[in-house]
Amino acid sequence: MAGDTPTAALAHFASAVKFSELSEDEQQQTTRHFLDTVGACVAGLDQPLVTSIAQLMQDFDSSAEQGCTIPVIGSFWKTNIHSAAYLMAISCHAIEVDDGNREGSIHPGTAVIPAALAMGYHCDADFETLMAAVVAGYEVAVSVAEVLHPHASKRGFQTTPVAGVLAAAACAARLLKLNPAQTESAIGIAASSSAGIFAYLTGGGNIKKLHPGQAARQGIWAALLAQQGAVQGPMGVLESKAGIFKSFGGIADWRHGNGAARTELAVVRSYLKPYPCCRHIHPAIDAALDLRLKHRISPDQIKCMEVGTYEAAMPHAKLSWETLNMAQLSFPFVMAVAMHKGNVDLSCFSSTALCDASIAQLAKKVVVSVDAECQQNYPVHGPARVRIILTNGDEHSQYVSEPMGSPDMPISDIQLIEKFQTSLQSNWPAVQSAAWASQLYQAKFKSVRTMVDALTLAS
């Protein structure tokens, strides 16, 4: 990337990147993350939080049909560009199946791709421009988050909305064909909308689902303001004296942050989720399920289950699970349900499961603590150590250095398409969703509108 500062370099990259000039692997990984995020969006649409907010928007939309031309993919809703991006983003994050990046502790797709879909539809963009915008958004989101993490989280800020709004702005700017200076202005404007705190870990867990929606909506608005030119965003907003790195991470000199020079695109070094819960818990799930299968462990044999992890995961160590939103973040519940059912899927978070006394009893036996080796290896790796002590005195232990779905342990294309089909199964038969995925993989969609309309319900 060209440019003397991080902001200028990212703005230059975002305005210049071309999908056709990427390697075959980079194109494939971008497509995989796009497919996964579209699936996450459709899967979350029927969640009460999403439907309630959609209704609230409709109640207060005085424009009626005027200006409501942007579809919310996977639904019959049409609204304005800002509300469409918002609804798709909160839907993506509604059931914890969206992608992420460990080094930045961020969910880039849930902010970037809804912004790309809404703005791409508005601009009638072609497929290659859409995918270039997605690459641009991921690069901004992850690059910024890698510098901020773990400094921002220790100060109470979640990197997804803090960096996600900058990424959505860069993504939208690419679709609007803004030049580097305009793109840097858009990022600067978006920076004043950076927000999002971890208070949900102590109550009100579903506010977390709105964080990427705010990022996608405000990022689009920032790009439109930059295009108009009446508002000038501050240049160098990442590294300046009162910029993002200093304000959210307390980083006086960005060169000393956690970020390091990377040779791979951000989208390539991001992960896909095999389980619908907090990513910090995934390596422990992999270890527990393997031990359960290998040693034929039944829940009634377990005296204690010890989980070793890293400091960044510890806020989830003792969370309760009264609601779906909190259960998906709770180490005790997820580990108990994994050993009880032998899997972790959406059915594990049903109202019946949340009230299951046998799962609750097993959850009391889960002890989570910082493991020295895990702490040393994070965030270069995403490790966990699980030790299960049985009532007969036997002990079984396993260390997992990388969870499934990471770049080094990828889920297969077949698994990804199966996940996509499951996400769409309420409204589309498997053969139809598989055909849509195939067209995406083969880049057969000529435009964003063609792509979105193929997954939009008739009102």
328-347: per-residue pLDDT in tens? 999 999 999 999 999 999 99
| Sequence spans of domains, the chain | 6-256, 279-400
The helix (run of H) or strand (run of E) holding residue 34 is helix 24-44
The CA-atom distances, in angstroms, between 290 and each of 271, 286, 287, 309, 367 are 21, 6, 5, 17, 18
Nearest to 423 by CA among 285, 276, 306: 276
Candidate from 71-80, 111-120, 248-257 with smallest mean pLDDT:
248-257
- Which residues sit opposite 389 in a β-bridge? 304, 395
Q: What is the pLDDT of residue 325?
A: 87
Rounded to the nearest 5 degrees, what angle is found at the Cα of 163, between the Cα atoms of 319 and 152? 50
Architecture of domain 6-256: Orthogonal Bundle (1.10)
Does the structure show a pLDDT above 50 at 1?
no
Mean pLDDT for all residues in the chain: 94
Query: What number of helices (H) and strands (E) belong to the chain?
Result: 20, 6
Q: What is the pLDDT of residue 261?
A: 61
Q: What is the pLDDT of residue 67?
A: 64
Q: What is the mean pLDDT of residues 433-456?
A: 94
Q: What is the mean pLDDT of residues 273-287?
A: 97
Q: What is the pLDDT of residue 253?
A: 79
The helix (run of H) or strand (run of E) holding residue 249 is helix 244-249
Q: What is the pLDDT of residue 66?
A: 60
Q: Tokens 């963009």 — which residue?
A: 125
CATH number of 279-400: 3.30.1330.120
Write out the DSSP string of 214-238: HHHHHHHHHHHHHHH-SS-PPTTTT
Predicted model pTM: 0.94
Q: What is the pLDDT of residue 2?
A: 45
If pLDDT is split at 50, 70 and 90, which confidence band does 401 have?
very high
Alpha-carbon span 101 to 266, nearest angstrom: 8
Alpha-carbon span 313 to 149, nearest angstrom: 13
The region, left, alpha or beta by phi > 0 then psi within -120 to 50, assigned to residue 404 is beta
Does the structure show a pLDDT above 60 at 62?
no
Q: What is the pLDDT of residue 138?
A: 98
Using CA of residue 41, residue 20, residue 430, residue 451, what is the dihedral sign?
positive
Does the structure show a pLDDT above 80 at 279?
yes
pLDDT, tens only, 114-129: 999 999 999 999 999 9
Alpha-carbon span 270 to 402, nearest angstrom: 13
